[in-house]
Amino acid sequence: MDSHAVLLPVLFFGIAFLYSSVGHAGASGYLAVMALVSAAPESIRPTALILNIVVASVASVQYLRAGCFDARVFFPFALLAVPSAYLGGRVALPGHGLKAAIGVVLLASACLMLVRAFLRPRERVGPPPIPIGLLGGGAIGFISGLTAVGGGIFLSPLLLYFGWAEARKVSGVAAVFILVNSIAGLLGQAGRGLPHGRALFLAVVAVLVGGLMGSRLGSTLFDRRAILSVLFLVLVIAGVKMIAI
């Protein structure tokens, strides 16, 4: 992280701004930029999770205040997601295995990003069946802890496609889901690979400012599909790099 003390905060700011403008905290984006600049593999997961917590906290407060949250949708997914994210964070993969796992998740995230860009929300049919919520949340939670994504990028398209939540509440549910999963995943890391204090401070400030600006201004300044398409390209490039190198 030290060798990229200037570059990474700038990139993190941009990722936080873009992701928060479309209702995400940006973990897959942070993973992508760290992969592109060849950051130390052991610091990638905890750094992404900490930054995710910062942006998701801001987003969660804003969505909750705006009434854009549905507990009946959130809890079926979160009940198993949180302990599963902790268990995923406890798994210590070897360097090559970790890079490959993150690369696969980045490519999957890219595909879901593109799907969301063109997905038309279905008419709401009610909250998810509890068994499906538990199983789906458990799977998403474990992947979240293992690879340091918050899980919102997987949950949001699922809620929209099946009509389990109103479109205006999907981002709120996803933001809180990302927050609790990221905290659980970080606890599972048990302090492994944390970046140095100064580097972490600059990164936190960058995503905090980017997240605040993006959540308030990004969606009005840019076309939503254009943002998602740009993020799709970034994730594809980074995912291929993580797997191939």
- DSSP of 14-73, one letter per residue? HHHHHHHTTT---HHHHHHHHHHTT--HHHHHHHHHHHHHHHHHHHHHHHHHTT---HHH
Give, in order, the Cα–Cα distances in Å from 210 to each of 12, 14, 170.
8, 7, 21
pLDDT band at 194; cut points 50, 70, 90: low
- The reported pLDDT for the residue numbered 109 is 83
Long-range CB contacts for residues 216-221, cutoff 8 Å, separation at least 24: 217/21, 218/17, 218/18, 218/20, 218/21, 218/22, 219/21, 219/22, 221/21
Over residues 212-245, the pLDDT tens digits come to: 887 776 545 556 677 677 777 778 887 887 787 6
Q: Is residue 206 within 8 Å of residue 13, measured between CB atoms?
A: yes
Report the distance separating Cα 161 and Cα 119, nearest Å. Answer: 8
Q: For residues 144 and 243, which has the higher predicted lDDT (pLDDT)?
A: 144
Of 19, 155, 171, 226, which is closest to residue 31 (Cα–Cα)?
19
* Burial tier of 131 (Cβ tally within 10 Å: 0-12, 13-18, 19+): exposed
- Please give the single-letter amino acid code of residue 55: V
Q: For residues 223 and 133, which has the higher predicted lDDT (pLDDT)?
A: 133
Count CB neighbours of 108 within 10 A: 18
pTM: 0.86
| 21 has pLDDT over 80 | no
- The reported pLDDT for the residue numbered 197 is 74
Q: Structurally, how many domains does the chain consist of?
A: 1
What's the chain's average pLDDT? 83
Tokens representing residue 12 in the block: 């993190």
- The reported pLDDT for the residue numbered 193 is 62
Tokens representing residue 196 in the block: 């140095």
pLDDT band at 1; cut points 50, 70, 90: very low
| 35 has pLDDT over 60 | yes
Report the distance separating Cα 62 and Cα 38, nearest Å. Answer: 34
Give percent above pLDDT 70 in the chain: 85
What is the span of the domain harbouring residue 229? 2-244
Over residues 70-128, the pLDDT tens digits come to: 999 999 999 999 999 999 999 887 777 877 888 888 888 888 877 766 766 666 667 89
